[in-house]
Amino acid sequence: MTEDLTKRITQFLEIDTNYAVIISGDYGIGKTFYFKNKLFPLVRNINVPNSENEEKYRPILISLFGIKSVEEIQKQIFLELFPLLKNKGVKIASDIGKSLLKVFSGVDIEQYVNDADTSTSDIINYNKLLLCFDDIDRKSDDLQIKELFGFINNLVENSNTKVIIIANEDVLRKEESNNEDDTYSVIREKVIGISIKFNTDVVSIYDQMINSKYKDSLPVYFNYLKDYNQSIIARIEQNNKNIRNLVFFLEHYKIIFNSLDEYLKTDDNLNPFRKEIFELILNFTLPISIEYKMGSLKPKYFKNIKDLHIGGLFDLSAFLSDGPSMKIKSKEEKVETYQEIYKRKYLDDTAQRKKVFFESIFNYITGSSSFSIDKLIEELKSIFVIEDNKVPKREKVLNTLSYWQCIDLNTNEYRKLTNEMLKFVDTGEYKLDQYPTVFHYATRFNNLLNYNLENLKKRFKRGIKKGNFEYKPSLHFHLHISANTEFYEDLKEVAEYCIQINKEIKVKSEKEEVENLFELFQNDFKEFLEKVNESNTELRYKPIFSKFNFNKFWSTLKKAKNTELIEFGFDMARRYTKYVYPDLNPEKYFLEQLKEKLESEIGKSRTTKMNKIAFEFLVSKINESINNFE
């Protein structure tokens, strides 16, 4: 895609011109990468027209990001030239040197300025440079576009300099059109001779990037990136072909890959799942990296994204009454939430059937913690069910019956393994989110083994009832069954039963959790506050206070020290920020009750002055918090 662009630029360099060229395109799509890695090596071999001794062009890339004046631009040009000049003893032509002397006050550059003894071959002039000005649309407001283009016009007309401007011209034009004096079009017409739209060749950039960065230094990582180039490139192209996203992902994923690759060499239980492990991790890490680098994945969305990823093979949300509505919105309805956008972009792909959440990777990518291979291994052992340093027999059976490994089994082997699998169902040994998969394996291929489906469903329910499960958040989000799945209604019934059991576990576990938290509140107020309001934990987003017996809570709170009440006020402000998490809405009534009690205490004559100060402070923080609820 960039071959034609390269040809047009080389032709521009081979002829006499008095205008600049602008290369326009969106931010982050690889314009700068193209210039540094593809164009500049070619430019260095192009002869300057009408030059003596077939002199070559010297390309220089100058970023105008935050630049406030033409003098600063001249300084940047000199800084690019200075190391070469100093090393080779080359003199600067007077037309360059004199203009820069004003900029470099206190710097001894007189020895580099042209003198009578300097031969023509030792002189570097502007007409031997290719000046590429990058980030022109990110310059400081102090540098007016008229002044900048005037400087560029002087270069191209009076110094015969070749100038290329790299910018997002749509943004540049929009910014200038906001001014009363809309001069962009007039100035552009005088200075710019050619405008070229930059089309990113992600495939070419990807190949060049991994070859230069990893081929020699990290050959295993390089080969992996080659094998999965299509998946990675597709995600980058899906997100406006932003090459900065690619760089961010490759460098962060390198740490994960190398650590895991080394570990798997020593683990005979996980190593057989190597291919599936790396596919799961890639499918998770790539979207998280892209969304975080783009600035779309903000802390307030962290829990939403975690909820989307947690789950098993199927997703029943489109069919269950208690699942979230996924109807298509009309133009009049509100726009998609970030959670809905993320799901549509990354999780609705039917090819990516298994969705998992890696806390260790998520925290690393989002900057919450350094990467821990030990934590990742713990997560993998949970996903692939490694118990007592070995894969349990039930998982080996399930893996053998998975697609499409089972297709090589003869009928007797298939029946034997399926019967073994069902014995594990009878004792409730599979995880709750595995049972829809197990039921499907037993009945697929048009009920190959001729099970009575009504009896089989009853058998599954009896076995599930015996299981010892932990509550799985948002299970209903992630049990998906396509309507054309074999024995859809029967499979759906099994999945709904799993959801029912999951809800019962939730009720029981939440009751125990509330009791334990209230006990902690009574015995260690400080530790309670730290636990409830710790960032990026589920308690931070759970309406814990609304579940407490308020009268018992108030009786305990009244006994707290004033310093603890002050700390409680600060914690309330942190918990109920400007945009209160929706799940915390039930706590608004709790806050209103607490405010009423505090104001009552403040009004009592027997309340000490110090207590009143603490109560009034807490009331002020509660008022701020209440105002943040919708």
Q: For residue 476, what pLDDT is reported?
A: 61
CA distance 307 to 21: 49
Rounded-to-integer distance, Cα 580 and Cα 602, Å = 28
> Could you report the average pLDDT of every consecutive run of 10 residues in the chain (630 residues)?
81 88 80 84 87 83 90 84 56 50 46 43 66 86 87 88 84 61 66 83 89 94 95 92 92 96 92 90 95 91 82 38 35 71 78 72 93 94 80 89 86 96 96 91 94 97 94 65 83 92 89 90 88 76 89 91 92 84 89 93 92 93 89
CA separation for the pair 430, 463 (Å, rounded): 9
SS (H, E, C) 108-166: CCHHHECCCCCCHHHEECHHHEEEEEECHHHCCCCCCHHHHHHHHHHHHHHCCCEEEEE
Backbone dihedral angles phi then psi of residue 600, each to the nearest 5 degrees: -65, -40
pLDDT tens-digit series, residues 571-621: 888 888 877 888 889 999 999 999 999 999 999 999 999 999 999 999 999
The model carries a pTM of: 0.59
Q: Tokens 């037993």 appear where?
A: 442
Q: What backbone torsions phi and psi does residue 131 show, to the nearest 5 degrees?
A: -95, 120
C-beta separation of 314 from 323 below 8 A: no
Buried b (16+ CB within 10 A) or exposed e, 529-543: bebbbeebeeebbbe
User: Could you identify the residue written with the tokens 């000049």?
Assistant: 85
Question: Residue 46 class from Cβ within 10 Å (0-12 exposed, 13-18 middle, 19+ buried)?
Answer: middle
Which residues touch 83 (CB under 8 Å, ≥6 apart)? none
Can you tell me which residue has the tokens 């007797």?
A: 412
Length of the chain: 630
The 3-state secondary structure of 16-60, one letter per residue:
CCCCEEEEECCCCCCHHHHHHHHHHHHHCCCECCCCHHHCECEEE
Which phi-psi region, left, alpha or beta, contains residue 93 (left: φ > 0; alpha: ψ -120 to 50)? Answer: beta
Q: What pLDDT shows up at residue 422?
A: 97
Instruction: Supply φ then ψ for residue 582, to 5 degrees.
Output: -55, -35
pLDDT of residue 179: 54
User: Across the strands, what pairs with 567?
Assistant: none
Query: What is the per-residue pLDDT across 549-577, written as a single tens digit (0 to 9) for each?
Result: 999 999 999 888 999 999 999 988 888 88
495 neighbors 479 (Cβ within 8 angstroms)? yes
Helix axes 550-557, 488-523, angle to 10 degrees: 30
Three-class HEC string of 555-566 = HHHCCCCHHHHH
Res 562: pLDDT: 92
What whole-number distance in Å separates Cα of residue 134 and Cα of residue 132? 6
Write down the pLDDT at residue 290: 95
State the pLDDT at residue 612: 92
Beta-carbon contacts of 513 under 8 Å, excluding residues fewer than 6 positions away, are: none
Angstrom distances, CA of residue 449 to CA of 377, 491, 582, 625: 37, 16, 48, 61
10 Å CB burial of residue 332 (0-12, 13-18, 19+) is exposed
- Please tell me the predicted confidence (pLDDT) of residue 176: 58
Name residue, tokens 């015969």.
Answer: 160
Ramachandran bin of 526, using left for φ above 0, alpha for ψ from -120 to 50, beta for the remaining angles: alpha
**Is the Cα torsion angle 109, 115, 118, 121 positive or negative in sign?**
positive
Interatomic CA distance for residues 371 and 359, integer angstroms: 10
Place of tokens 């700390």: 567
Q: pLDDT at position 334, please?
A: 59
